[in-house]
Amino acid sequence: MTRSRAFNRFHRFTAKRRRKALRAALPIQETEYGKAASSIDNSEKLRRRAWERALVLDFSEPLEIG
């Protein structure tokens, strides 16, 4: 590998590591987008939200005694 190619590869590698470190330092991104920021799958979030709504509805219904 030539010196300039190795130099470019090294700087791309360090830039990628720097971006990962910066993304990891942002708490907003982790809470808003989940553990994998690149993930587009919202099914777990929707499932959890539906489960929470069902719980709220169950607990809001009056108890029938007797």
Between CA 43 and CA 49 the distance in angstroms is 10
Span 2-19, pLDDT tens digits: 788 888 999 999 999 998
Each residue's pLDDT expressed in tens, for the chain with a length of 66 residues? 678 888 899 999 999 999 888 888 876 654 555 555 555 677 888 899 999 998 888 888 776 776
Task: Provide φ and ψ at 64, rounded to 5°.
Answer: -105, 110
* Residue 38 DSSP one-character state: T
DSSP of 1-66: --HHHHHHHHHHHHHHHHHHHHHHH-HHHHHHH-S-TT----HHHHHHHHHHHHHHHHHHSPP---
Domain boundaries along the sequence of the chain = 3-60
Q: What is the pLDDT of residue 39?
A: 58
Task: Write down the pTM of the prediction.
Answer: 0.37
